[in-house]
Structure 1
Amino acid sequence: MVYAKSRTLKKHVEGSPPGGNLELKTVELPPFNNGEVLLQALLLAGDPYLGVAAKRLKEGDAMTWQQVVRTVESKNSAFPTGTMVVASSGWTTHSISDGKDLEKLPAEWPDILTTKQ
């Protein structure tokens, strides 16, 4: 049994965002099936555009945005356990994907981000 903590929109922002517009919820994920992967978030994007994107959500919806995630369990041969990918999973600690919208990161990520001197 896997639980995920997800940020959901508590209420829409009017003007400058005061605190309390997001809520942290814990949800139980369903078992994942053949062809799917269980993902764990490593990096979440925090972009000013999120305020605009949140206007399309209903209160109670999960915040959506891209994040860097790692495959922690896999039933999809294209994404073995340990694969690092970019996913549009939203602001959640864990998620399940069928792999169709995942973008693999280079195997040496994040080491390729640093420059050897």
Structure 2
Amino acid sequence: MSVKIRLARGGAKKRPYYYIVAAHSTSPRDGRYIEQVGTFNPMLKKDDENRVNLNLDRCKHWLSVGAQPTDRVARFLDAAGLMKRNPRNNPNKAKPGKKRLEREAAEAEKAKEAAEAAAAPAEEAPAEDSAA
């Protein structure tokens, strides 16, 4: 039996509200859970004290018996001082994709050709004027 501390979504359409719950890892996101240990309201401002509410005693209990928090819940627990979360570093995530690189290369080539075409008639035009 693997227990996770995770978010269960509640609230209306386009108005999310999450319950922080201890649940079996195989149960559905919004399905059955063992115990509710807090709430998270993302609609409130980040500095609002009611944005995240945790029952610290129950969170400590579930962490002590081996419950694994999800990444988002680990951030909340880290902010509350219950655990240390190691920040992740994925430098490739910010890089543009293959298609975008191809499009940018094609646009750069097109701009270069346009610049060359604009410069070439300017050089030829005075030569035609002197021949006339």
What TM-score results when the alignment is normalised by the length of structure 2? 0.23
Q: 1 or 2, which has the higher strand percentage?
A: 1
The structure carrying a bigger helix percent of its residues is 2
Larger Cα Rg: Structure 1 or Structure 2? Answer: 2
Higher relative contact order (CA 8 A, sep 6+): 1
